[in-house]
Structure 1
Amino acid sequence: MSPLDQLAVLAAGVAAGGINAVVGSGTLITFPVLLALGYPPVTANVSNTVGLVPGNLSGVLGYRRELAGQRARVLRLGTGTVLGALIGAILLLKLPPGAFKAIVPALIILALVLVVVQPRLSRWVKDRRAANGREAETGGHGVLLWLAVVGTGVYGGYFGAAQGVLLMGLLGVVVHEDLQRLNAVKNVLALLANTVSAAIFIVVADVSWAAAGLIAVGSVIGGQLGARLGRRLPPAVLRAVIVVVGIVAVTRLLIT
């Protein structure tokens, strides 16, 4: 990579780390950048996953105060995330590269839709809570939530863009808890999904360590910035940036 390319990947890592800490769509920043620099789609996805793990950890540390008292919840939902991520990572490696190229545009479009509708989803969650009162994640709801988290883990292990949006929607509907505390749980689950996938990819996949290293450095910085300042960013601007880079990614995949 040229120095300019390296700067672009580093900057994308910073943006992705910050977005992941607050929203959970950072892959829609880094993945298109790697594609634009000529990386094959699977290599770009694998390198991106490995690089974002330190940023995920940075975001978790930034939200550590909101994790207080949630150990049991994190352990329970974490098992579902790990199982799902294992399945997703294996699917990525076992399916032919052409399948990834065919499937991922649809996943990116789904992720973009989720990012766009997130404000309405949040309002719906708030209205539902107001109408139904307190609702615990016990009994059938707890089982259904765990299974749904397994599904988001599969998605995260395979690609992962906007996994955080999916998780926040699920947690917000089922678990009666402050949304910032749920966001802290989301950050842990995203960290688990990326860590499991990255561990598998490092052993058996083709990782571009130059790209992964730059994303890692940037995402650590971004994770701390996101945890401290992300709530102050104009949400509409953030969503607009994500949508633009997502469209770039879809276009790049469809024309190559």
Structure 2
Amino acid sequence: MTGTGLPLLFAAGLWAGTQNALAGGGSFVTLPALILSGLDARAANITSTIALFPGQLSTGFAGRAHVRGAQNLSFRALLGISLVGGAAGGVLLLVTPASFFARLVPWLVLFATAVFAYGSFGRRRADAAAVHLTAAQAAGAQFLIAVYGGYFGGGIGFLMLAALTLAGLPTRNAGASKNVLAGVMNAAAVAIFAFSPSVAWVSALALGVGAVLGGLAGAWMLSRVDEKLLRVGVVAIGVMLTIGLFAHPV
């Protein structure tokens, strides 16, 4: 990593942290930034997960008063499910050959972009009222989301928000709960990734510092920025990134 590359990664982290605080989708910025810095796709994903983790912790901590369990499913149970699922996803990523993950990345980004777009613009309150998950279904959904979160993670916020609201949580409580659960599932993955030689620690530090500062800036900007425009921007980045990855595989 060159002296020029580190400031660029810091700027990417600043952008991603601000974006996460305002609308989500910060990994759409950090993943390509790390790939452009010279990392392969799997190492970039591992490093991005570690770099964004401190910001997730602070976000979850800030909204801890509003966390709730779903119907007949305690929040403690959701925490345990998220921890186990996140660890499983992290292990799965480490045993995935880098070449195979590189071929998988365009599809993962496409999926994450579609989930983000649907969560931002396609879903309505009526959708949540149409279906209700049982405790067992909510537990199963959370486990699958946690595995995906530990493995890749793009779009997990919207996946969890959908599952928790369908399980009966009010939107405000579902939002606070998914922030804490996202931090927990990534904590399990980070604990595993920390021992991987694929982590680019200097890059993770530059991104992480930027992301924390960006998160603070995003919190200040929350009532001053048009969130819808930000979400449009995130989807546009996701679409361009998907096209780029399919056209020029990493």
Smaller-chain TM-score bracket: 0.7 to 0.9
Whether 1:218 and 2:219 are equivalent positions in the alignment is: no
* 1:127 positional shift: 1.8
Distance 1:156 1:231, change over 3 A: farther
Question: Who is 2:165 aligned against?
Answer: 172
Question: Who is 1:60 aligned against?
Answer: 60
* 1:21 positional shift: 3.8
TM-score using structure 2 length: 0.87
Whether 1:77 and 2:78 are equivalent positions in the alignment is: yes
Cα deviations across residues 106-164 of structure 1 (Å, max 9, x unaligned)? 111011111212234441xx1245678xx7xxxx7111111101111111111111111
Counterpart residue identity of residue 160, structure 1: G
* 1:239 positional shift: 2.1
2 CA distance for matches of 1:180 and 1:232?
A: 20
Q: Which residue of 175, 180, 191 maps to 1:188?
A: 180
Question: Who is 1:143 aligned against?
Answer: 136
2 CA distance for matches of 1:150 and 1:240?
A: 29
Distance 1:199 1:155, change over 3 A: same
Asked if 1 retains the 8 angstrom alpha-carbon contact of 2:64 and 2:180, the reply is no
Q: Between Structure 1 and Structure 2, how many residues are aligned?
A: 246
Cα deviations across residues 33-61 of structure 1 (Å, max 9, x unaligned)? 11122211111111111111111112113
* 1:70 positional shift: 5.7
Question: Who is 1:161 aligned against?
Answer: 154
Question: Who is 2:34 aligned against?
Answer: 34
Moved more, 219-228 or 160-169: 219-228
Q: Tell me the C-alpha RMSD between the 2 structures.
A: 2.5
Q: Which runs of 4+ in 1 moved over 6 A?
A: none
Unaligned runs of 5+ in 2: none
2 CA distance for matches of 1:53 and 1:120?
A: 26
Distance 1:128 1:245, change over 3 A: closer
Task: Determine which structure has the larger helix proportion and give its number.
Answer: 1
2 CA distance for matches of 1:55 and 1:12?
A: 14
Asked if 2 retains the 8 angstrom alpha-carbon contact of 1:25 and 1:163, the reply is no
TM-score using structure 1 length: 0.85
Cα deviations across residues 170-228 of structure 1 (Å, max 9, x unaligned)? 11222231x23211111111111211111111113421011111121122223333345
Cα deviations across residues 76-129 of structure 1 (Å, max 9, x unaligned)? 211111111111111111121122112221111011111212234441xx1245
Distance 1:205 1:73, change over 3 A: farther
2 CA distance for matches of 1:43 and 1:127?
A: 40
Unaligned runs of 5+ in 1: none
Identity %: 30
Question: Who is 2:126 aligned against?
Answer: 127
